[in-house]
Amino acid sequence: MVDREAHTGGCQCGAVRFRVTRLGRPSICHCRMCQKAFGGFFGPLVTAHNAVWTRGEPKWFQSSNAARRAFCGDCGTPLAYETRFGLELAIGAFDEPTVAAPEIQVNLHDRQPFFAGLSTLPERHDVSDEWRDFMAGIHSNQHPDHDTADWPPRGEDDE
């Protein structure tokens, strides 16, 4: 997939940001290393042919003899996976994750046995007043889903 539009993203706290214009095939990887790196059932990744870090630098963990993984050293957000074949970025770290909807699943030997049934789980649509009040009182410290001149913002709420 050749894409000329700039796609941006970064970590939850905003300390590390990236930009890319050429994306490859988006996938979800079921290997055990991706499960542990993402703290989830799989690792959602997309090949990033020309990614650049635009704010800060990630920290790297050599997860095997063949791969290393990038994450934010401040908030821990998983950001990338790199081998001799190139860099892949975490789809969830994009400002607009829909630009990289997964097209394939890989490393099925480690796929969790319950994975296929997740979409059949019951859905909860009702929200209690207590939960609604709790959510209304939350002030997010998460970086917004777009580039900013600096972060955190300097304003009247900062003391």
Pairing of strands 78-83, 43-48: unpaired
The enclosing H or E element of 23 equals strand 23-29
pLDDT computed for residue 51 by the predictor: 96
Is the pLDDT at 157 greater than 70? The verdict is no
pLDDT computed for residue 42 by the predictor: 97
116 sits in the region (left: phi over 0; alpha: psi -120 to 50; else beta) called alpha
Give the C-alpha separation, 132 to 62, whole Å: 42
Instruction: Express each pLDDT in 133-152 by its tens digit.
Output: 898 888 888 898 898 888 77
Q: Which domains are delineated in the chain?
A: 7-113 (2.170.150.70)
pLDDT computed for residue 68 by the predictor: 97
pLDDT computed for residue 150 by the predictor: 80
Give the C-alpha separation, 69 to 87, whole Å: 9
pLDDT computed for residue 156 by the predictor: 46
Instruction: Tell me the whole-structure pTM to 2 decimals.
Output: 0.87
pLDDT computed for residue 155 by the predictor: 60
Least confident span in 2-6, 69-73, 96-100, 106-110: 2-6
Percentage of the chain modeled with pLDDT above 90: 77
Give the C-alpha separation, 141 to 120, whole Å: 33
pLDDT computed for residue 158 by the predictor: 43
Is the pLDDT at 2 greater than 60? The verdict is no
